[in-house]
Structure 1
Amino acid sequence: MFCYQCEQTARGTGCTEIGVCGKSSDAAGLQDLLLDLAKSLALGLAAVPSGLRPVGSHEMIESALFATVTNVNFDTERLETMIRAIAEAAGRDLPRDSAGLNVLAERVGIAARRRADGDDVTGLQELLTYGLKGMAAYAHHARRLGKTSAAVDEFTVEALAALARGESDLGRLLDLTLRCGEASVAVLALLDVANTGSFGPQTPGAVRMGHVPGKAILVSGHDLGDLKALLEQTEGTGINIYTHGEMLPAHAYPELRRHAHLAGHFGGAWMWQRREFDTFPGAILMTTNCIQRPAETYAARLFTCGPVAWPGIAHVVGQDFSAVIAAAQQAPGFTDSASTGEHQVGFGHHAVLGLADTVVGAIKSGAVKHFAVIGGCDGTDTGRSYYTDLAAGLPQDWVIMTLGCGKFRLLGHDYGQIGPLPRLLDMGQCNDAFSAIKVAQALAEVFDCGLNDLPLSLILSWYEQKAVCVLLALLHLGVRNIRIGPSLPAFVTPAVLQVLVDKFNVMPVGGVEDDLKALTAA
């Protein structure tokens, strides 16, 4: 195997025996083959007018891309089932046995393409591919809530078809990658409409960070639709529902918050799940990516649904959560109350722009001097303490906007207020980067300037492919001077990085003190 699609890849260069994420070499190979078949299907679809394409073909490609995102599908049986279905749709013949599939996978993997095309071409192909994977994840959530985009589907087919043809011209690949940023903005907007249309616009409110006595189910991942279905199915059962990881922003949506048994948030970011799930005395539902190898102590009460899967873990088909509910009723539940305080959520673009006069007034009066977006993906490496220390060191007249599970690096610190505004504005999940974009665009319009002329700094943490999608969206909008960390992607070669530096002044994060000096001097 060879995989370098996440930030924590082995030695910073690539996983070759087993994924740092826990992915086996067999699963990695099947994911490579699934991706190759998605390209083949897209190549066939590209030759057919969109109105004549088989029903469900775009969704099939979307599901295949999402299955290969980091920490999603580790189950070789499920992957093989997907492979055979998409091969049939693409008209590709496959070996009948798993061993034959593994041999075929080696021929289409990253290592083989690096040998054939070199690091620069392959790296840029992968940058485009990872942007498409991130788009697919967000499009999946929107599709489940009844929202689709013909433009996003069409670009996905076009880009995958180009990759299927082996596009190797760096100029054309870069153009496709930047156009992926345009499609990424569209898919972020689409999911925003889907979420707010289904659950109401985010509104500010306090979330209990802890638990209360009673039977319990913990929901992790990202899928708000699954959470809504579970809340409805547990109404009146006496079971309390808790969020985990990137589900924390669910408490900001009125249609979710109105359920009284949405009792609070348990734990922190996704990478601490093994120790946190172990101490949770109820059933656990993983709705999308971010699953880790389950410990034996909780594997029997862990369930997956949607695109996420782990070998041997019970998988919920559709949204019938009766097995999850039964497991929660059999588990002991909490016998006490505990809390580490409250966290304010709900500062999406609807809420912040609802306070537009206050925000603009604070800027004009000098009470607010600058905005810093500090957020993205979290991970286990020690370098991520950078984000905690940087936020704590920012001037008191700076407002901090955060989103994604990177927010957990900022929680637990009292940042205070600037007038009626809290200095820390939690804008939501990673996809709510769209909220930060909307706020920035609105401020640029008010002050009649470009985005890069605003008193705004972006310091992003990345881990997996949805972060690539968000980065490409920002680059499409022309945003410059973005700091990325804690390390730069292994698939971005020096030559490709130089293009991004020259065009957008993308830069790695440095030392906290040096970066604070640079940011405050700007």
Structure 2
Amino acid sequence: MFCYQCEQTAGCTACTGSAGVCGKRADTARLQDKLTGALIGLARATEGNEYLITGDTSRLVLEGLFTTVTNVNFNNDTITELIRRVEKERERLVPDCFVCTVSCGKNNNYDMNNLWEADEDVRSLKSLILFGIRGVAAYAYHAAVLGYTDDTINRFFFKALFAIGMDDWGMDELLPIVLEVGEINLKCMALLDRANTETYGNPVPTQVPLTVEKGPFIVISGHDLYDLKQLLEQTKDKGINIYTHGEMLPAHAYPELKKYPHLKGNFGTAWQNQQKEFADIPAPVLFTTNCLMPPKKSYADRVFTTEVVSYPEMVHIGKERDFTPVIEKALSLGGYPEDMHFTGINGGKTVMTGFSHHAVLSVADTVIDAVKSGAIKHFFLVGGCDGAKPGRNYYTEFVKQTPADSIVLTLACGKYRFNDLDLGTIGGLPRIMDMGQCNDAYSAIKVAVALAEAFDCGVNDLPLSMVLSWYEQKAVCILLTLLHLGIKNILLGPSLPAFISPNVLQYLVENYNIAPISTPEEDLHR
């Protein structure tokens, strides 16, 4: 296998053995490459004939790209079936190509070895495009579930896949598409923000307990709010409580989800701790999107998957979303006999969420006055994707050392390193504001732009520092969005992507002053 798409890749170079650090086997990695090659083949077959592409074709591409995101699908059977569907769709769209013996690229899959063995700068740029659109596809998939789509976004996936398959393209052709990934992701995050808020209401600041009450319960993990809504509906009046996990925490802030009294609180911390935290809980766990780690035997019979998530021998809930097997498992296990009082990583008993752009901008005058008076001297955006690799305690120490006259904005699962800390308030505003899931980077961008407008300056002139952690492909597309917006001086960690070649890194340094994190003490005074 060859895989270097996540931050924890072996030796900071690539996973090349019998299995990846994430637990993905070599044969699964090869199938995911074959799936990607089939998607590139589909894009090449429709190039110049975009009118052939239907909504169902676009949805298939979203599903295919999302399936290859880290910690989503470990199931060879489902990946093989998806490859078959992509190839069948290509044959349906361009049937004449399959009676032609000339190899023009439109009647066969792309060989991904051409990418992995390419010149390192070309490989680097194409990897940025590929991993970036995998992240964008995840957001577009969530929006599509709620009925929100955008033809501009959907067409771009074909353009980007086509570019990856062009073996004679160099930096001049590829670099503009790298930055376009960031532009399209901004559109996609805005689309998902609209889908979520128009469906579930604007998030409001909400305190979420970490206590699990006695009795049957279900833990739901991932990102897809629609799955949570369906689970809440199906468990009404059944005596089953629902607890979020990981990136599902921000669900507590949405009015249309808050109204369910059996949505009780949050269980556990970040996704990478699940093998320890799920080991002996008397309840089932439902995975709706990425964040799945190979389940250990101690709790494997309590894991359920849905959407594009799949793992061999795990019970999968299909598109009809009948969660009866999960509900029956919860009732049979019975939950805890008495209330269990858990804490966050730093000992906190509750966490806050719900500080979306709507919530923050509704008190914009308070924030602006606090800046003008000197009560708030600096903003730190500290967030991103978390992981298990040593060195991520940097983010906890960084937040602990932020000055008392600063605000910490955070989002995604990186917040679990510090979101249970009590750093006090400034003018009634909590010093730590959780803006939501990773896609809610859109909220952070909206707030930054609004502050820049209020102070008649550029975003780069604000007293704002961005200290980001990355793990998988959604973090890649968010980083590209920030670069598309011209935002500079981003600190990235805990290590730089293995797929960034020295020349591409130099370009990012020269044009955006992107840099790796060092120590909290040094970075706080940059």
Instruction: Spell out, residue by residue over 1:9-63, the C-alpha distance to the aligned partner (whole angstroms, 9 max, x if none).
Output: 001100011110000111000000100111111122232134x424411111111
**Change in 2 beyond 3 A, CA 1:8/1:413:** same
3-state secondary structure, aligned to 1:159: helix
Distance in 1 of aligned mates of 2:516 and 2:169:
27
Letter of the aligned partner of 1:144 in structure 2? V
Contact 1:218 1:243 (C-alpha < 8 Å) held by counterparts: yes
3-state secondary structure, aligned to 2:188: helix
Distance in 2 of aligned mates of 1:411 and 1:447:
29
Q: Runs in 1 of length 4+ with deviation above 4 angstroms?
A: none
Distance in 1 of aligned mates of 2:203 and 2:35:
36
Tell me, yes or no, if structure 1 residue 162 matches structure 2 residue 163: yes
Counting matched residue pairs gives 505
The residue aligned with 1:306 is 307
The residue aligned with 1:109 is 112
The residue aligned with 1:414 is 422
3-state secondary structure, aligned to 2:399: helix
The residue aligned with 2:376 is 368
The residue aligned with 1:321 is 323
**Change in 2 beyond 3 A, CA 1:80/1:398:** same
Instruction: Spell out, residue by residue over 1:122-151, the C-alpha distance to the aligned partner (whole angstroms, 9 max, x if none).
Output: 111011111100000000000001101111
Letter of the aligned partner of 2:230 in structure 1? A
The equivalences for 1:229-240 within 5 A come to 229-240=230-241
Contact 2:280 2:298 (C-alpha < 8 Å) held by counterparts: no
3-state secondary structure, aligned to 2:392: helix
Instruction: Spell out, residue by residue over 1:377-400, the C-alpha distance to the aligned partner (whole angstroms, 9 max, x if none).
Output: 011112101100011111111100
Letter of the aligned partner of 2:122 in structure 1? V
Distance in 2 of aligned mates of 1:427 and 1:437:
11
The Cα shift of 1:273 comes to: 0.6
The residue aligned with 1:120 is 121
Identify which range, 54-63 or 487-496, moves more after superposition.
Answer: 54-63
The residue aligned with 1:98 is none
Distance in 2 of aligned mates of 1:486 and 1:161:
32
Distance in 2 of aligned mates of 1:407 and 1:114:
33
The equivalences for 1:137-156 within 5 A come to 137-156=138-157
Contact 2:379 2:406 (C-alpha < 8 Å) held by counterparts: yes
The residue aligned with 1:80 is 80
Tell me, yes or no, if structure 1 residue 471 matches structure 2 residue 472: no
The residue aligned with 1:397 is 405
Tell me, yes or no, if structure 1 residue 425 matches structure 2 residue 433: yes
Distance in 1 of aligned mates of 2:236 and 2:27:
41
Tell me, yes or no, if structure 1 residue 2 matches structure 2 residue 10: no
The residue aligned with 1:346 is 354
Identify which range, 329-338 or 299-308, moves more after superposition.
Answer: 329-338
The residue aligned with 1:189 is 190
The residue aligned with 1:100 is none
The residue aligned with 2:259 is 258
Provide the TM-score with structure 1 as the length reference.
0.95
Structure 1: tracts of 5 or more residues without a match: 95-103
Letter of the aligned partner of 2:398 in structure 1? L
3-state secondary structure, aligned to 1:382: coil
The Cα shift of 1:367 comes to: 0.4
Distance in 2 of aligned mates of 1:118 and 1:336:
60
Letter of the aligned partner of 1:109 in structure 2? M
Distance in 1 of aligned mates of 2:316 and 2:497:
32
Distance in 2 of aligned mates of 1:53 and 1:392:
51
Distance in 2 of aligned mates of 1:131 and 1:197:
26
Tell me, yes or no, if structure 1 residue 213 matches structure 2 residue 214: yes
**Change in 2 beyond 3 A, CA 1:167/1:59:** farther
Letter of the aligned partner of 2:466 in structure 1? L
3-state secondary structure, aligned to 1:278: coil
Distance in 1 of aligned mates of 2:119 and 2:47:
27
The residue aligned with 2:468 is 460
Instruction: Spell out, residue by residue over 1:178-222, the C-alpha distance to the aligned partner (whole angstroms, 9 max, x if none).
Output: 011100100010000011011111101110112111101000111
The Cα shift of 1:515 comes to: 1.2
Instruction: Spell out, residue by residue over 1:105-129, the C-alpha distance to the aligned partner (whole angstroms, 9 max, x if none).
Output: 9x8235x5343x2211111101111
The residue aligned with 2:104 is none
Distance in 2 of aligned mates of 1:270 and 1:279:
16
% identical aligned pairs = 49
Tell me, yes or no, if structure 1 residue 447 matches structure 2 residue 455: yes
Identify which range, 235-244 or 271-280, moves more after superposition.
Answer: 271-280
The residue aligned with 1:496 is 504
Contact 2:382 2:411 (C-alpha < 8 Å) held by counterparts: yes
3-state secondary structure, aligned to 1:168: coil
Letter of the aligned partner of 1:232 in structure 2? E
Contact 2:124 2:499 (C-alpha < 8 Å) held by counterparts: yes
Distance in 1 of aligned mates of 2:452 and 2:148:
29
The Cα shift of 1:409 comes to: 0.8
Provide the TM-score with structure 2 as the length reference.
0.94
Distance in 2 of aligned mates of 1:253 and 1:322:
25
Distance in 2 of aligned mates of 1:161 and 1:37:
11
Distance in 1 of aligned mates of 2:193 and 2:355:
13
Distance in 1 of aligned mates of 2:167 and 2:317:
38
Distance in 2 of aligned mates of 1:389 and 1:282:
33
Contact 1:167 1:173 (C-alpha < 8 Å) held by counterparts: no
Distance in 1 of aligned mates of 2:246 and 2:206:
18
Instruction: Spell out, residue by residue over 1:157-178, the C-alpha distance to the aligned partner (whole angstroms, 9 max, x if none).
Output: 1111122233531121111000
**Change in 2 beyond 3 A, CA 1:368/1:166:** same
The residue aligned with 1:69 is 69
Tell me, yes or no, if structure 1 residue 481 matches structure 2 residue 518: no
Contact 1:218 1:285 (C-alpha < 8 Å) held by counterparts: yes
Distance in 2 of aligned mates of 1:177 and 1:79:
27
Identify which range, 223-232 or 162-171, moves more after superposition.
Answer: 162-171
3-state secondary structure, aligned to 1:124: helix
Structure 2: tracts of 5 or more residues without a match: 99-107, 344-348
Distance in 2 of aligned mates of 1:113 and 1:287:
31
Identify which range, 307-316 or 41-50, moves more after superposition.
Answer: 41-50
